[in-house]
Chains A and B, each alone.
Chain A
Amino acid sequence: MSTIQVEVQGLSKNFFDQARGEVNAVTEVDFECRSGEIFGLLGANGAGKTTTLRMISTVLQPSDGTARVLGHDVVREPVEVRRNLGFYSASTALYPRLTARETLTLFARVNKYPAERTKDRVEEMIERFGLGEYAGARIEKLSTGMKQKVSIARTVVHDPPVLIFDEPTVGLDVLNALDLQKGIRELRDEGKTILFSTHIMSEAERLCDRIAIIDKGRIRACDGLEGLRAATSHHYLEDIFVHYVTGNDTPA
């Protein structure tokens, strides 16, 4: 029986922008994620996906509402939240002057992975992600694909039950993107809870167990692909997305 790992209730984020004035980036977002599922946040650029995920990962503070990871509140217990979470996004780069092995050791230790098991865990990650040959090389010397692998390894090295991937395939070539998707599926199969944001329909279709469509900071729909199909009478996710975002049904 899967358990609720992430609970988001009435989550909102407003901020003041000198050019745009008061901005409501996210408004009263609600959803839950269960263990062993990939939950997708599907939205156009600027829809509020990254802001939502940043609030869950404690990088940003919510203006209103709550979010809990394994029962830990993101505002009151941010350290506990981060300990149980691996956050990956295009804006979470690696330290260029550390090696892959040093990076993984640092993240395992600071994220409270048991010290006596850290060395074995780091070697396990190096082997799992095929980093062996490059483990001693500085990150700045690695190719984009290798950096990507180190990034994912540092996200999971402390073995967190919840993983957040914010548009992870942005900037990757097809083969690397497919490789990444395969890795995410494997993590799901290990029982991890995965929050995955994307604006690529095919990716969400292939990967996500449930999908929340987000537009202008609000969740417009949230269900499995079959449920969304049944609710909109559309087969393709692209049409479903357009249905919810524009309110119109466009021909497929």
Chain B
Amino acid sequence: MDWTAIRLLYLSELRAALRERSVLINGILIPLLMYPLMMWVMFSAILFVTARTESFASRVEIAGLPAEHRSLLGRLEEEGRIEVTEVDAPPAGTAATYRAGIEERLLAGELDAALIFEATADGPQGNAAVALMSNGSSDQSQTARGRLERALSVERSDWLDRIAGQHGLEGAKWQVFEVESSNLATGVEMGQFLMGMMIPLFFVIMIANGCLYPAIDSTAGERERNTWETTSTLATRRIHIVAAKYLYVATMGTVAGALNAAAMVVSFRSFLGPLLARLGDGDGSGFAFELPLRSLPVLLLTAVLLGALIGAAMMILAAFARTFKEGQSMVTPLYLLVIFPVVVLNDPSLEFTPPLAAIPVVNVVLLLRQAIAGNLLWLQLGITLLSNAAAIVGCLWLASRVLRVEEVATGSFEGNLFQFLRQRLRPAGGKA
């Protein structure tokens, strides 16, 4: 092997690629910045909306508030930013008219929510049916409803406790059907679960994205720029030229995948973690986004494997194209083919079994998911390595056979890989 020529050609491909805006954007900037930027925008937008909603002063009308529930007004005052208008219960026979009036004012935006108490004959003093009316299409009305529900819930619970106390019962004794839920997963485990669902998916997409432009640029792009013939006059074997190009494509894919995974972990920690804490119970104990150290070698390994496999497959397809556009139309189906099973199989209940470990690309996604969760299944890891290595060798073998054909190497073959294979596999004498 002429390693000097391979190294020189590889470095010159990389240098040229890093001066090309499309390569920089697709292979480095998007994987590196897209997720932090997306999450930052999402984080800012959600915080902005939340802050704006929280600053609304809710205009609330309460009708027929029984004397036993006067404490509700204190609770609403504690809730803050609620302007309460208290009115008497509508006289008998006018309830429907009153409700219609409330509806009208809610829809017109003159009122954000209304509480209508209707005393019931049964039960203890203060027992009432409460109607909570709001307009679901208005943010302000939704906020007012939330505030009323919280205050009402506490009021109801306290009133029931008071009534129970009058009968000599403590709340815990009469509320026998209590549901206590607990989550056994730690914050780290929950974070790893979420990262395991999302990182592998985008990892594959970014590696395919990282390979796409270089694969087309180094084959069809060379033909379009008339540099293919220049390259083929270099004093080294053609296989060395192809090897240098292949290493360049695989490198770009691997780098895109690794950068994307790193950017995603940082984004999860810096944006998603604080956001989930804020939207949840606020104590920040929900999710913790920590990547187990032992998953890093697996992540790097899978980036290399996928970069090498997708790069090889894309180069074979693009080798038949004479223009960049032709290259795009030949390679795009493979891009979709790679991404489709990853999206479809992104099911958390899917178990990483040895048979699944034999399917290239899918196995990498499942392996990575397990690794992020801190589990390393050695048998599956071995099968994954073997199956991807076999697929890479198969692709490279096919590429060496294809590029040995002069019409393909010089770009005079009219057709794609499948037409080429059909033509070559046709029995002798069929080419008339």
Residues of A within 8 A of B (CB): 15-16, 18, 57-61, 78-80, 82-83, 85, 87, 89, 91-98, 102, 106-107, 109-112, 138, 154, 158
Contact = CB atoms under 8 A, between A and B. Distances in A.
A57 B235 CA distance: 10
Contact of A111 (B229, B232, B235, B412): B235
Contacts of B347: none
A106 B12 contact: yes
B233 A98 contact: no
A1 B407 CA distance: 41
B16 interface: yes
18 contacts: A18-B414, A57-B233, A59-B410, A60-B406, A78-B237, A92-B230, A93-B225, A95-B225, A95-B227, A97-B16, A98-B12, A102-B12, A110-B5, A110-B9, A110-B234, A111-B234, A138-B19, A158-B235
Contacts of A78: 237
Given A18-B414, A59-B410, A98-B15, A107 B225 contact: no
A97 B20 contact: yes
Given A15-B412, A111-B235, 7 more contacts: A85-B233, A87-B233, A91-B226, A92-B227, A93-B230, A94-B227, A97-B19
Contact of B234 (A93, A107, A138): A107
B157 interface: no
B226 A93 contact: yes
Contacts of A57: 233
Residue of A82, A89, A110, A154 ringed by the most chain B CB atoms within 10 A: A110
A61 B226 contact: no
Interface residues of B, number: 27
A90 to B, nearest CB: 8
Nearest to B11: A106
B429 to A, nearest CB: 14
B349 interface: no
A123 B127 CA distance: 99
In the A-B complex, the 6 residue pairs with the closest CB atoms: A93-B226, A83-B235, A97-B16, A82-B235, A92-B230, A87-B233
B4 interface: yes
Contacts of A79: 235-237
B8 interface: yes
A93 B237 CA distance: 20
Given A60-B406, A79-B237, A111-B234, A106 B16 contact: no
Interface string B14-27: 01110110000000
B410 A60 contact: yes
Given A79-B237, A83-B235, A98 B8 contact: no
Contacts of B229: 59, 89, 91-92
A112 B234 CA distance: 10
B237 A61 contact: no
Interface of B: 4-5, 8-9, 12, 15-17, 19-20, 225-227, 229-230, 232-237, 406-407, 410, 412, 414, 431
Contacts of B227: 92-95
Nearest to B16: A97
B331 to A, nearest CB: 21
Given A96-B225, A97-B20, A102 B15 contact: yes
A158 B230 CA distance: 14
A94 B228 CA distance: 10
B235 A110 contact: yes
A100 to B, nearest CB: 13
A163 to B, nearest CB: 12
Contacts of B226: 91-93
B8 A109 contact: yes
Contacts of B414: 18
A168 to B, nearest CB: 14
A98 to B, nearest CB: 6
Contact of B233 (A80, A82, A96, A102): A82
A98 B12 CA distance: 8
A138 B5 CA distance: 22
A138 B8 CA distance: 18
A79 B227 CA distance: 18
B4 A92 contact: no
Residue of B20, B226, B229 ringed by the most chain A CB atoms within 10 A: B229
B20 A61 contact: no
A124 B235 CA distance: 21
Contacts of B235: 79-80, 82-83, 110-112, 158
Nearest to A86: B233
A15 B410 CA distance: 13
